[in-house]
């Protein structure tokens, strides 16, 4: 049997097969394996370093943190940048800017009509807050019976489901808008988020000399009949990390104005204490170009056949 050099080995790894398999998976795998072979060579990666990396990846998966490292290394934002470029190249009418989903969405939150107290069970969480507005199309016309799926962290910066100390679906709700596309909810102004300390993600970030903080934000996934599902976030103004988000997700047009409201007239059904902070924000949805676009870019469904 002939001795193999690195180049011949790579060629072998990427060409061996007993069946066609999936052409796209083969092509992407070949590219990634080639890139990693080159990294090992050019960076002179030692066996100890390589196996430390394998152990780290194993722990990352066991901790269910691949989605978190993905956001922190910019992959999630990269996908948004690419979707934006595709939209611009096709001269599509643009809606509200998209912003990454992040790894902390949970489907199936309790569903309410028109309005909800998102913070039910979390009173005293912080500054009382109302957010309200309409779901519109790109021409500014209301999208009746749109679905506003909203989630944010608790006063300690933790998200329910991933933090088992919180009740199921805490600070997660779906709101079906009325005929005019209107929604509103009461909550408190959430704090920022920090990656869990003593985790595989924090280990890497320490070695990279990076922090793991996100500025205060609220997540949305918004859908409507014939509309492209929008995944986005709003940012609260004044946060130290607004321009230094660990997930690179903040965008112009998503940093909202906070109004101070003294008079609770009109908000009785939300039982809000005054004064409270108010955000008025309309979401604009693009027309769906295909059935696929009416669904969220799924982190859970498999994209490969």
Q: What is the footprint of Fe ion within residues 52-111 (CB under 5 A)?
A: 102
Binding mask 115-134 for Fe ion (x = CB under 5 A): --------------------
Q: Could you say which of Fe ion, ligand MBD, none residue 109 binds, taking C-beta under 5 to 8 angstroms by partner kind? A: none
Q: According to CB under 6 A, which one of 60, 71, 135, 201 is a site residue for ligand MBD?
A: 71
Is residue 226 a contact partner of residue 288, using CB atoms and an 8 Å limit? Answer: yes
Q: Does 193 bind ligand MBD (CB under 6 A)?
A: yes
Site size for ligand MBD (CB under 6 A)? 10
Shortest CB 103 distance to ligand MBD, Å: 6
Among 133, 174, 125, 184, CA closest to 153: 125
Shortest CB 159 distance to ligand MBD, Å: 6
Chain centroid to CA 178: 26
Work out the widest C-alpha separation in the chain, in whole angstroms.
85
Q: Decide: helix, strand or coil at residue 229.
A: coil
Q: Which two tokens stand for residue 291?
A: 């059935």
- In this complex, which beta carbon is closest to ligand MBD, that of residue 30 or of residue 255? 255
Q: Does 234 bind ligand MBD (CB under 6 A)?
A: no
Q: Which two tokens stand for residue 115?
A: 């309005």
- In this complex, which beta carbon is closest to ligand MBD, that of residue 104 or of residue 130? 104
Q: According to CB under 6 A, which one of 249, 256, 272, 296 is a site residue for ligand MBD?
A: 249
Is residue 72 a contact partner of residue 195, using CB atoms and an 8 Å limit? Answer: yes
Q: Does 192 bind ligand MBD (CB under 6 A)?
A: no
Assign residue 32 a region (left: φ > 0; alpha: ψ between -120 and 50; beta: otherwise).
alpha
CA distance 235 to 145: 25
CA distance 214 to 249: 9
Footprint of Fe ion on this chain (CB under 5 A)? 102
Footprint of ligand MBD on this chain (CB under 6 A)? 68, 71, 100, 102-104, 193, 214, 247, 249
């Amino acid at each position: 049997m002939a001795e193999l050099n690195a180049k011949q080995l790579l060629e072998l790894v990427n060409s061996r097969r007993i069946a066609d398999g999936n052409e796209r998976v083969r092509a992407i795998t070949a590219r990634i394996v080639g890139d990693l072979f080159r990294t090992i060579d050019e960076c002179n990666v030692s066996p100890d370093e390589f196996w430390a990396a394998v152990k780290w990846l194993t722990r990352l998966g066991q901790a269910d943190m691949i989605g978190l490292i993905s956001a922190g290394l910019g992959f999630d934002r990269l996908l948004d940048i690419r979707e934006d470029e595709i939209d611009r190249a096709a001269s599509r009418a643009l809606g509200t800017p998209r912003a990454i989903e992040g790894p902390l969405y949970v489907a199936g939150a309790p569903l309410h009509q028109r309005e909800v107290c998102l913070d039910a069970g979390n009173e005293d969480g912080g500054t009382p807050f109302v957010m309200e507005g309409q779901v519109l199309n790109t021409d500014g016309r209301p999208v009746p019976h749109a679905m506003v799926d909203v989630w944010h962290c608790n006063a300690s910066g933790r998200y329910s489901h991933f933090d088992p100390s919180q009740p199921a679906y805490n600070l997660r709700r779906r709101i079906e808008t009325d005929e005019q596309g209107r929604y509103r909810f009461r909550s408190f102004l959430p704090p920022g988020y920090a990656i869990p300390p003593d985790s595989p993600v924090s280990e890497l970030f320490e070695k990279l000399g990076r922090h793991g903080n996100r500025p205060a934000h609220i997540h949305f996934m918004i859908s409507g009949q014939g509309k492209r599902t929008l995944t986005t976030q709003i940012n609260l103004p004044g946060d130290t990390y607004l321009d230094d988000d660990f997930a690179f997700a903040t965008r112009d047009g998503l940093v909202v104005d906070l109004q101070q409201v003294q008079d609770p007239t009109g908000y009785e059904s939300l039982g809000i204490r005054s004064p409270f902070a108010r955000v008025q924000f309309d979401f604009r949805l693009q027309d769906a170009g295909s059935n696929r676009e009416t669904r969220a870019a799924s982190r859970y469904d498999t994209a490969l056949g």
